[in-house]
Each structure stands twice: as C-alpha cells, then as structure tokens.
Amino acid sequence: MSVSRCRHLVWVAIAGLAAATALADEPVGKRSTIETVEVSARRLPVDLQVQQALTPGGVTVIDGEELYRRSVASLADMLRLVPGIWAVSNSGTDGLFLSSRGSNLDATNYDMNGMKLLQDGLPVTTADGNNHNRIIDPLSARYASVARGANALSYGASTLGGAINFVSPTAGEDFDNQLYVNGGSHGLFQSRLSAGAVTDDQRADGLITLETKHWDGYRGHNRQRRQGLYANAGWRLNGAVETRFYATYVDNDEDLPGALTAAEVDDDPNQAAPKAISGNYQKDVETWRLANKTRWQLSGNATLEAGLSWEEQSLFHPIVDKVLVDFDGPGPNPPVEVFSLLIDTDHRDLGAMVRYNLQLGSHDLLAGIHYGDNRVTGGNYRNDGGRRNGLTTRVDNGARSIEAYLLDRWQLNSRWTLVYGAQGVSAERRVRNIAVADGSVRSPDDTYESLNPRAGVIFAVNDRVDLFANVSRLFEAPTNFELEDDVRGSEQTLDPMHGTVVEVGSRGRYGFGNGGEWRWDAALYYARIRDEILSVDDPDAPGTSLATNVDRTVHAGLEFLVDGRLPLDDGGLHSLAPMVNLTVNHFRFDGDEVYGNNRLPAAPGYVVRAELLYRYREGFYAGPILDVVDGRYADFINSHTVDGYTLIGLRAGFDGDGWQLFAELRNLQDRDYIASHAVVNRYSATSAIFNPGEPRSAYVGVRLTF
C-alpha cells in the first residue's frame, strides 16, 4: 500500500472519529469510567474498566466468554479483533507469528519476542524477552488485557509491542461447571472440562480444568497433540487479605510442516517441506508452573499485591535437516554434512511482582516492580531424522530482568486527567555456548539499563467520550537468541532497541433511539526507533537466523475498532451487530545506508477484519465474517511482494439455557494464500520461506453448563 493511500485511510478514520465525537452531546459531569470498546458482550470487572479508562493510549480487553461463541484453536484466533496486532497461525497449530505495532518484524518464526505475556500479572515470557517455547492457551483465560506499545508500562513490560495479561477464571466469581467440545476440519478436536466449588462461608474456592487438543492439520507433517491441566484455589483470610495459588501443566507435541518455496506452493500448498519430513521437524514442550498471588486491602484507598511464579520446561526440537556440501577433493567423495540442528534443552523461570495502588485525593498512584530470572541448560545436537546424532554445542544461558515503574493518574478536574510517570529497566543477558569439537567458548554477555519516562493526558468530552494523547520512551533489550545469532559471531553484543513514540486517539460510545449504540476505540501513533534488531534466515543454515542492529526505523500506524448494536424493531427483538477492526501499518527504514527508506517486511500495509451479525434476542445469531489483508514484502530489499488476500466466512450460534452452540465456516472461496513467512535479505526462487494458509474449513462447538 502506498504512503498516499495510507494517509488517505488515516484521514478518513480521523474524520469519522471526529463526527462520532461531535454526535456525543451529553453534558459533562463528574467523570465516570468509560466503557471502552472490548471484544465482549458483558460488563467488565471494575478493575479492568479503571485500567482502561486511566490509560491515555491503546488498550483492548477480551472477554473469554465470547471465545466460546466461535472456533478458537490458537492465540491468533483470540486476537483476531484486536487492532494493532498482526497474529497468524503458521499452520493451524499453536505456533504463530505475533507482532504488535511492528515488533518482531524479522519474522524468523522461532525467536518470537516483542510482546510480554503474563498470566494473572506474573510473567510467562522468559526474563530475556522470548516467547519461543510456550503460548498461553486462550481458552484458559477469563479475560485478557492487550496493552499495545508503551501503554504496557503499568504491566512492567519493556517491549516495543506491549503486553497481554491473561486473567484466570475462578470458582468464586460467576462460574458454572462446564463441558466444552469443538471439532471439525483437518482433524480438529478440542475438549475442556471445568469444575469448581466454593465453601459455604464463601472464604475459599477452587477450580480445575482438564483440556485436550488434537489437530491433524491441512498440511503434511502438521499434527499436534496437547493435554493440559489448569487449577487455582483461593482463600480469603479475612476482610483485608486474600491469596490464590495457581498450577499449570501442559504437554504439547507438534510436528512442523516447514516452509515452502513459491514453486512448491504453486504445486501443492498443502504439502510439507521435504526437509521437514526427512528431518522430522518437531517442537515438543512439557511445562509445569506454580504461582501464588496475595492481595492486601491496606486501607479504604490503598491496596498491595505480591506474586511469585516458578516454571520449568523441557524442549525437544528437531528443526534443521542435514545441510550437505560437495567435497571438491579428488576421487568419488560423497557430500559432507556441515550443519543440522536438534535442540534439547531445559528451561527454568522465576518470576515475581509487587504492585501498590493508592488513591489520594485526586491522585491515583500506581507503583510496581517485576523481576524475572531465566536459565537454559542442555545442548544442540546433529539431527538424524528427529533423533539426536551427536552433541555439537553445550548451552548454559541465563537472563535477569528488573522493571520498576511509578505512575500518577491525576484528575485535574471533571474533564482533564494527567498521567505521568517513568519506568526503570535493568536487563542482564548471559550466553555461554561451548563447542564440543574443540572446546572453544562463545560467551557474549551484557547489562542493559534505561529510564523510560511517559506523559499523557485524557480529556473527557463528556461522560461517554474521551480524547487522549501520550508521549513515551520505548526500550527493549536483545534476547539471548539474538545474542547467539549475532551476525558477527564474536563476543560483541547487540545494542538495545530504543526510541520515542507519540500517540493520540479517542474511545467512547454514542447511543441513539431504540437502544442503539456505537462504540469505538481509535489510536494513531508515530515512533522513531534507534538500533532496531532485525534478523534474516541464514542461507547457509536454514532454520537459524542472523541478527544485527539497524540504525534508524519508523513505526507508525492507525488502530481503529468500532462495534455497535443497531435495533431493527422498536422492541429490540431483532438487531444487527457490526464490528470492524482496521489496522494501518507504516513501518520502514529511515535513511539506511543499505536499504534507504524501504518498507520493513512481514507486516501488511493494512488489515481489515470484520463481521456483521444478525442477533435475535432469544439467543440466535448469524452473519458473515471478512478478512482483507494487504500485501507485504518478503525481504529487506523489497524485491518480492507476498500477495494480499480476501477471505469470506460465516458463523452462527445459539445461546440457550445452560447450553451454547456455534458453527463457523472459513475461507468459503477455498482461496490459496500465504498466512506467514520468514524473511530473507534478498528473495530468490529457492527461498523456502512461505507458510500457506488454511483452506475451506468448517467447525462446530458446544458448551454445556451445569
């Protein structure tokens, strides 16, 4: 998409937003909590509403109840209607490409950083910033808050893309025992059984969920088998103190179909890459996690939260088949293996947080500190058809991170709220790789520190409409994977990414006759970034990357989400429920010596995801769903464009008394398209980087509550 078209879409959105704001003619009174646009049909808990209302930037809250009204088999499905997020499953499994506001645009498919994932306020992302091994099951969350970019400061996140906090359901809230089953095309079968109990005095409760996911896949060598257990138990010690314990166990085995060349996609987009079969590419992760969070009500206007988590993982990951070269010596010498890779490592992660909130007059003060400690031990082996074939590198990596923040949300009067504060970051990275062949050691390590100020303002046009703006510093240290993959291959370390972002926007709602309502959430941002870390797939060792700092880049975009309820009759028995998520991306190099002002690859110029549902008040709903994705570049040279695409689907369902039923049809045209891709420096016909998307598919799900 050209810059002129990008600007045109931006101005159209701003004009529409201004018109909607002008329509909101309610008088200004005492400031109330804004019900921002969330992917939800139910009222959100007060603390989540307050968090949204007091953030002068893009925050979206997803209601987990809504996820049971459509097929959600991956995090990409969950985030479909969140603006500013580009999330696509590589092949229908849990593996995905995830980018927020231009994070992770090297798209190497395995070093997934740039967003911090938390579960109940405690980190799941490792201390070095990586989400390589585990993605949270979206159906295990009651709510999920998506804070984009610098708006995630209050979650202790120092990342370009922001943070997602997944909030677990509990038996102590509005909860019923339930059984959920979802299945359909490509051998998908998901099931979940949840049961909980509350003591008679309401002081203790417990909830346990057992889940399984089976997926045969729409491509060869695409199978996934996952089993999980999620449990939590809470105890209210007295009126001022409550504590909750969490336990998670996940055993996830995935076969990886590998990326294809363009010729292979044209021949058969559903085939597996030949090397994925001969190398038996897999990603098998066994995880267990224990956590506790305790909350003290110190007084009528002060609360303190503290939490601790411990997670262990074992990773078995054959990912690169034998790379052979011809031996040029005399005689009939066979090709020699120069590289293959099977990762077999153990991971240990400690996380901790403290969060203090004080309401003092017109000030709402928030202070907190997050701590993470990560250790990775094990080794890299030669890969012989998915079997270990000799240790090549011993691995002993570690990382620590401390993120402390202080915010004051100062309500100056009924219209104006000033939000200002800062985040301090200290991030240690330590890599120690020992080559077995000669005992040589490569050990780049460094400590990265930064103070990241933030200032913003919220203007209440009236009780239903807010305008906001903020200016914030961005900072993200490199991951250990990126230090290992430094193109220089020495003891030198990469520089941290840093920059400044300016953001303006609005959120609110506008009601009209017969109970109709429009709701919107819009943000326009512009960031200048120094030393962005970008990686390309190593042509000599496919499946590994080469990382480097780039002097200057620009990340800018528009995020616009609007939904509504449009009554079709006076009694409100029939209505239409439209929802549109528009994201416009403008990510580019800024006067680079090699790439000039080229577009950054991997992210589309724009994405539109929409649906228009007819709703019958007695429980029935049905309507079309639409995805329109612009083209994107596959390389830094901008020599090859991955075609955009338009997908049309349908979904319908019924909410009954104690039961829910849904059906969903995807890609009705059975269109071939590229879901995600790796990135190379310069594209060639032999570049095996493409992951084809899901063909025509159908899914049906049912949930019973008892």
Q: What is the CATH number of the domain that holds 586?
A: 2.40.170.20
Average pLDDT over residues 625-647: 96
**89-103, 220-234, 364-378, 539-553 — which is least confidently predicted?**
539-553
Average pLDDT over residues 463-472: 96
Give the max Cα distance, the chain. Answer: 90
Is the confidence at residue 43, as pLDDT, over 50? no
> What pLDDT is stored for residue 571 in this prediction?
86
How far is Cα 399 from Cα 127, in angstroms, rounded to an integer? 6
How far is Cα 246 from Cα 118, in angstroms, rounded to an integer? 13
> What pLDDT is stored for residue 6 in this prediction?
40
> What pLDDT is stored for residue 133 in this prediction?
82
Are 38 and 44 within 8 A, CB to CB?
yes
Going by C-alpha positions, the residue among 590, 587, 585 that lies closest to residue 599 is 587
Q: How many domains does the chain fold into?
A: 1
Average pLDDT over residues 64-72: 94
CA 374 to chain centre: 20
Going by C-alpha positions, the residue among 697, 695, 656 that lies closest to residue 68 is 656
**152-166, 606-620, 642-656 — which is least confidently predicted?**
152-166
Domain interval for residue 524: 3-705
Are 555 and 527 within 8 A, CB to CB?
yes
> What pLDDT is stored for residue 326 in this prediction?
67
Are 616 and 573 within 8 A, CB to CB?
yes
**188-202, 332-346, 367-381 — which is least confidently predicted?**
332-346
| Mean pLDDT, rounded, of the chain | 90
For the chain, give the number of residues: 706
Q: Are strands 162-167 and 116-119 parallel, antiparallel or unpaired?
A: parallel
Neighbours of 247 (CB within 10 A): 14
Is the confidence at residue 500, as pLDDT, over 70? yes
SS3 204: strand
Is the confidence at residue 128, as pLDDT, over 60? yes
Structure tokens at 35: 């019900």
> What pLDDT is stored for residue 1 in this prediction?
44
- pTM as predicted: 0.92
Residue by residue, DSSP assigns 166-195 as EEPP-TTSS---EEEEEEEGGGEEEEEEEE
Average pLDDT over residues 661-677: 97
SS3 495: coil
**104-108, 529-533, 587-591 — which is least confidently predicted?**
104-108
> What pLDDT is stored for residue 380 in this prediction?
97
> What pLDDT is stored for residue 212 in this prediction?
97
Is the confidence at residue 539, as pLDDT, over 80? no
Residue 527 pairs with which residues in a beta bridge?
501, 555
How far is Cα 267 from Cα 627, in angstroms, rounded to an integer? 25
Is the confidence at residue 537, as pLDDT, over 80? no
- Per-residue pLDDT tens over the stretch 421-443: 999 999 999 999 999 999 999 99
Mean pLDDT: which of 37-41, 190-194, 547-551 is highest? 190-194
H-type alpha helices, 320-404: none
Residue 520 pairs with which residues in a beta bridge?
508, 562
